[in-house]
Structure 1
Amino acid sequence: MSATPFPAAPVLQLNNVALAVADLDHMIGWYQNVLGLRVEERGHFDPVDADFAMLTGEGFRLELVSRKGGEHRPADRSAPPQHLHALGWKAIVLESSDLASTTATLVAHGVEIVWAEQRLTPTLASTMVRDPEGNLINIFGKLA
C-alpha cells in the first residue's frame, strides 16, 4: 500500500462498542443479570430515532441501541470457524481471571454455550456464548 499525501487521524481511543438489538429492555436485563454490567445512561438519539443504553463493565462500555419499526436482521448464527466467513465484527471479547467460575455461572444462567473452556493456545482458553439475540461473546482466561 502506498503512502497517502494526507496524515493519519489524530490519536483516537475507544469510546464504546455499539450493538443494535431488537428488544432493548430485555437485552439490558440480560447484560446486567448475566454479565454484571451496569447502566450508565439511557436516552434517545433523535437523528436516528433510536433508544439507547450505555452499559459499563470493568474497563469497557457497551452501547445497546434499538430502533422501533424497522426490519431487524438476525445475527449471523454460523458456528465457529464458519462464522469467520461472514465479514464484519465477530464477537465482544472479554477476559476473566477465573474462566472456570465464569463458565459455571453462565451455565447456571442457562446461557447458550458455543464452547466451554476451549483451549486456544498453550496458555489461553475461552468460553464462547451467545446473548439472547444470537450475538457472540467470547470470554478468554488463562489456563491453570
Structure 2
Amino acid sequence: MADFVFHHAGVSVPDLDAAIAWYQRVLGFTLEKRFYIEAARSHTAMVRKGPLRFEIFEVEGAALLPEDRRHPPRDVKTHGNKHAAFQVPDLDAFLAEMAQKGADIAFVVRESFGKGCFIRDCAGNLIEFVEEPEA
C-alpha cells in the first residue's frame, strides 16, 4: 500500500475574510496563502497551526450550510463528511478559553468512553475537540 499522511481539512464559508479572522482569533491559525481556484470559482485560503491545515473556500453562488448540519446528533444522520477533530490536553480548560473568546459551543460530551466538544466556526461548520481518557 502507498504511504500517505494527513494534509488538510476543508470548509466552505460565505465570507473568506471573516473566516480567516475567526480561525486566527479563536483557534490560533495563521494565514499560509490565498489563491483562486478557477474551476470551482472559489476564493481560497490555507490557514495553518503547526502541522495542521484548514483550506477555506468562498465559492461564488454557494448555498448556506443547512440547519441540520449545525448540530452534531442531527448531522450524523446525513451521509457525507462530518467534521475534523483535534485532541486537547484538558477539555475544561479548552472550553473555558473558547467561551472567553466567544466561540459558539455546539455540543459537549462527557461519557465513560471519553469527553469532547464541538464548536461551530463563523459559518456554522462543526469542529470537534477531544480529550483522550487516562489509561
Q: What is the TM-score of this pair, normalised by structure 2?
A: 0.85
Identity, % of aligned pairs? 27
Gaps of 5+ in 1: 1-7
For residues 85-138 of structure 1, give each alpha carbon's deviation from its aligned partner in whole angstroms, at most 9, with x where no partner exists.
11111112111112221110111122221223x22444x210211112111111
Name the structure, 1 or 2, with higher relative contact order (CA <8 Å, separation 6+).
Answer: 2
Which residue identity is paired with 2:72?
P
Structure 2 unaligned segments of length 5 or more: list them.
none
In structure 1, give the amino acid aligned to 2:121. D
SS, match of residue 128 in structure 1 = strand
8 Å Cα contact 1:45/1:51 also seen in 2? yes
Shift of 1:48: 2.4
Alignment of structure 1 residues 15-26 onto 2, 5 Å: 15-26=7-18
Say if 1:59 and 1:71 are closer, same or farther in 2 by CA, change over 3 A: closer
Q: Does the residue aligned with 2:71 lie in a helix, a strand or coil?
A: coil
Letter in 2 for 1:110: G
**2:84 aligned with 1:126:** no
Please identify which structure carries the higher helix content: 2
Provide the secondary structure at the position in 1 that maps to 2:27: coil
Q: Spell out, residue by residue over 1:6-46, the C-alpha distance to the aligned partner (whole angstroms, 9 max, x if none).
A: xx7x4333321121111000011001100001111111122
How many residues align structurally?
133
SS at 1:127's partner residue? strand
Match of 2:65 among 41, 51, 74: 74
